[in-house]
Amino acid sequence: MSKFNQLKQYDIQPEKSVRYDLVDIQMNDHTPYLMVKPATEGNKPFARAQLQRSNKRVRAAGARGVTLENLAANRDDDRELYPRFIITGWGNVFDVDQKEVPFSVKDCVDFLEELPDWIFDKVRLFCVEPGNFAETVDREDLGNSS
């Protein structure tokens, strides 16, 4: 056992979902929320799918480099990949007829396609930040009183 084995408690669990409130929108007088997992390399199925798509795009782009079209295509890829690998559920999501919609991958893809880019980008930024998925540990639990 390592002298510093206690640090493993701060590892990010790729299967752990946390709530992300979409505070910039209201649906039927409610704030919708997504249950999300990390969009990091620790989430192997997501990372593999994302790399596969990115590698195809890089080969196709050749010497042109990164373009605005590439950035938009990456976002569009995530709109398809997030419902499969990152978003595990939701709440307070209503359709145009004010009926609550149960989570499904298909409906989530449709939802993300309609979500404005700037709001979806906030979701993406949250999901790529590992600290948003870290367990918070009380200092007293570690024997530190400082």
Q: Is the pTM of this model over 0.95?
A: no
Phi, psi of 2 (to 5 degrees): -75, 150
pLDDT for 142 beyond 60: no
Q: How far, in Å, CA of 74 to CA of 57, rounded?
A: 9
Average pLDDT of the segment spanning 103-107: 98
- Over residues 26-59, the pLDDT tens digits come to 999 999 999 999 999 989 999 999 888 777 766 6
pLDDT in the model for residue 59: 65
Instruction: Convert the pLDDT of each residue in 83-94 to its tens digit.
Output: 999 999 999 999
Average pLDDT over residues 97-112: 98
Cβ atoms within 10 Å, residue 99: 8
Say which residues have a Cβ less than 8 Å from residue 117's Cβ, sequence separation at least 6.
75
Burial of 2 (0-12, 13-18, 19+ CB in 10 A): exposed
